[in-house]
Structure 1
């Protein structure tokens, strides 16, 4: 019996890289780890082109990522006979209680997400993470039980934004498994909403979890996938943000020239005046200067000091507490690279005090490494 794996992938328009990513994500949710992409890709080729045997573990993963049964994928023999129609109606079937999602309710959900977003920027994730997760669960239940339609799609878009926010907070608090789970909710919701911008943003933001986990090459692949997803009529600010995200992954890999080209592309794509088309995206010349400085600091370049100094001067006092922590850590790294050890320690210690207030375990870890503690 030939399987239908190649046909099913073609029907979905997935490249092999997309399938490998989905398999790896499904395995991660189960606490399992798959072999490297090269080995896994060969395995997929055998399954699809040579009708190779698919073991129980991979059969379950394939069923999960394609959302098909093993029989629908041609991995097991289908049932020999269908039950008689009379046998199908043996007990009553109760439909779920559908929720009424309308534009007014979506506006309320959007307002709550924005309030959490503003509190997060000023106070840090620790202060509002519990509220953010509860909000995600509320919106998720509404979307799950809503009838299909425009309002459900808008609510799904809001779910994607709320889950990405809560996931970023979890990442900042050093809770990588929770961050990954929340971003999986965000990407699934963005797919249902049909908004390419939301999906591209959530997927690229998920790549930063891989960066923190030391899986830098995988992070770059995921950002590349996000850029492919977010093609078309999307806001210029998001185009610039995705270029900058790619630059950070390349900097983490030590690919200096490629990182700088990506950052230059971000600068070129950034509109002269902020569009504010996406409520979850804050990117202007000052933010981009901070990001460029962060990448240069990762590369050990003392020239990062200029960009970071510009960004620090442009940052409104008390408005972006978590961002200020990261900026000062980057500035400390750049100062140390230039041999200004005392000033580097001063910036690191000030960042440490801010990190204590925002609860950023992610930045505290960087500070401990910087101070040699």
Structure 2
């Protein structure tokens, strides 16, 4: 009987030698060490015939190679837990928790709205502690609530957990980001809600892509898009955006373009009911993501115009995202060999990164730094490197 792992290889028409070629490429992307070819062949054979369960690093490589989730490849979570599967740690509650009521849920919803409004302005640094402090109450409500009120408790809990996952992602902590986003997905599954499930799955894909697991992210996006036709157009569009980002990292330009084109069509339909999950999705938003993909694919000329135009009409309340846009523009300038434009945009992005503590801006500026290496002795580049070094603590 074929294992799911062997079936995945045969479905692609690969020999074991071709699989090992792909695994060696994946190991290089993920920063894993891989054994000799003969040893790897023995390991693969044992994994495929079910005689041995792959460890966490091998599981990550197989997910990357096959663009599939661990569940789809038949990996038993209980025998090889990874950092992405353990539960997040919660602050210890003090005193008895209140029971679920319209008033308690109203309080949690109003606080959530305030946090969500503040986040683009102040970034994650000052918001993780207050949001995290609400989780013991939320977890207790989930444990205690039964009957008609439970679904509403789960929806509030999901929004907090997903938001906390986003805050950790923007802080640069992909492990905590995935842990909390996994918790949000658990709530979505209990609710049997296609829209919530699809949205959280694409959020997991975004975290995986940024953490260097673009192949695994593709599997998560596939799972999200299994709900196509059952979810609002904005949620489907943002899932296609996640597919485009992962495809760009993997160097697949045609799949990137196809996903972006499909996302634009859906975004052009305008807002529809999505429980407020993706009101930010518009054609302009997809164009911004297309610019980021163009940079990843080293097509800066496709990115510069879009990013420049976006900055002329950027909403004042989206300061953190303006910083990310500036950092991406700086990279696009550098790829186009426009040194002055790169340094000017980077200097502005550094200021926003310092104010918000966004690790995503810092990561983009770090990528820019490699493009500026040939010019590191120039005064303006040296100043940029010093500012970036102080932010990294180096």
So what's the TM-score if we normalise by structure 1? 0.72
| 1:105-160 deviation per Cα after TM superposition (whole angstroms, max 9, x unaligned) | 3333222222211111221111211111122332122112212x332122112211
Cα pair 1:355 1:363 within 8 Å, conserved: yes
Distance change (3 Å), C-alpha of 1:287 and 1:199: same
Larger radius of gyration: 1
Structure-1 residue corresponding to 2:228: 231
Shift, 1:350, TM fit: 0.7
Cα pair 1:286 1:314 within 8 Å, conserved: no
Residue 188 in 1 paired to residue 186 in 2? yes
Cα pair 1:237 1:271 within 8 Å, conserved: no
Structure-2 residue corresponding to 1:125: 124
Cα pair 2:122 2:356 within 8 Å, conserved: yes
Structure-1 residue corresponding to 2:330: 332
Structure-2 residue corresponding to 1:173: 171
Matched ranges for 1:203-218 at <5 A: 203-218=201-216
Partner Cα separation in structure 1 for residue 368 and residue 273 of structure 2: 35
Q: 2:258 aligns with which of 258, 261, 266?
A: 261
Structure-2 residue corresponding to 1:74: none
Q: Structure 1: which 5+ runs fail to align? A: 1-5, 10-14, 18-32, 66-96
Distance change (3 Å), C-alpha of 1:63 and 1:363: closer
The alignment covers a number of residue pairs equal to 307
Structure-2 residue corresponding to 1:342: 340
Distance change (3 Å), C-alpha of 1:123 and 1:41: farther
So what's the TM-score if we normalise by structure 2? 0.69
| 1:273-332 deviation per Cα after TM superposition (whole angstroms, max 9, x unaligned) | 333633232212332221111111111112111222232233212x11221111111111
Please provide the CA RMSD for this pair.
3.4
Partner Cα separation in structure 1 for residue 8 and residue 140 of structure 2: 32
Matched ranges for 1:86-125 at <5 A: 100-125=99-124
Matched ranges for 1:19-58 at <5 A: 46=49
Q: Name which of structure 1's ranges 324-333 and 208-217 shifts more when overlaid on structure 2.
A: 208-217
Partner Cα separation in structure 2 for residue 63 and residue 254 of structure 1: 30
Partner Cα separation in structure 1 for residue 167 and residue 140 of structure 2: 21
Partner Cα separation in structure 2 for residue 206 and residue 40 of structure 1: 29
Cα pair 1:160 1:202 within 8 Å, conserved: no
Partner Cα separation in structure 2 for residue 238 and residue 159 of structure 1: 19
Structure-1 residue corresponding to 2:315: 316
Partner Cα separation in structure 2 for residue 109 and residue 243 of structure 1: 31
Residue 360 in 1 paired to residue 358 in 2? yes
Partner Cα separation in structure 2 for residue 202 and residue 296 of structure 1: 25
Cα pair 1:286 1:310 within 8 Å, conserved: no
Partner Cα separation in structure 2 for residue 261 and residue 105 of structure 1: 45
Distance change (3 Å), C-alpha of 1:327 and 1:187: same
Partner Cα separation in structure 2 for residue 215 and residue 186 of structure 1: 20
Partner Cα separation in structure 1 for residue 319 and residue 44 of structure 2: 43
SS at match of 1:277: coil
| 1:13-66 deviation per Cα after TM superposition (whole angstroms, max 9, x unaligned) | xx999xxxxxxxxxxxxxxx9x9xx9999778755xxxx6889x987716999x
Shift, 1:359, TM fit: 0.3
Partner Cα separation in structure 1 for residue 311 and residue 334 of structure 2: 17
| 1:59-112 deviation per Cα after TM superposition (whole angstroms, max 9, x unaligned) | 7716999xxxxxxxxxxxxxxxxxxxxxxxxxxxxxxx9963244433332222
Cα pair 1:294 1:330 within 8 Å, conserved: yes
Distance change (3 Å), C-alpha of 1:64 and 1:337: closer
Partner Cα separation in structure 1 for residue 254 and residue 161 of structure 2: 34
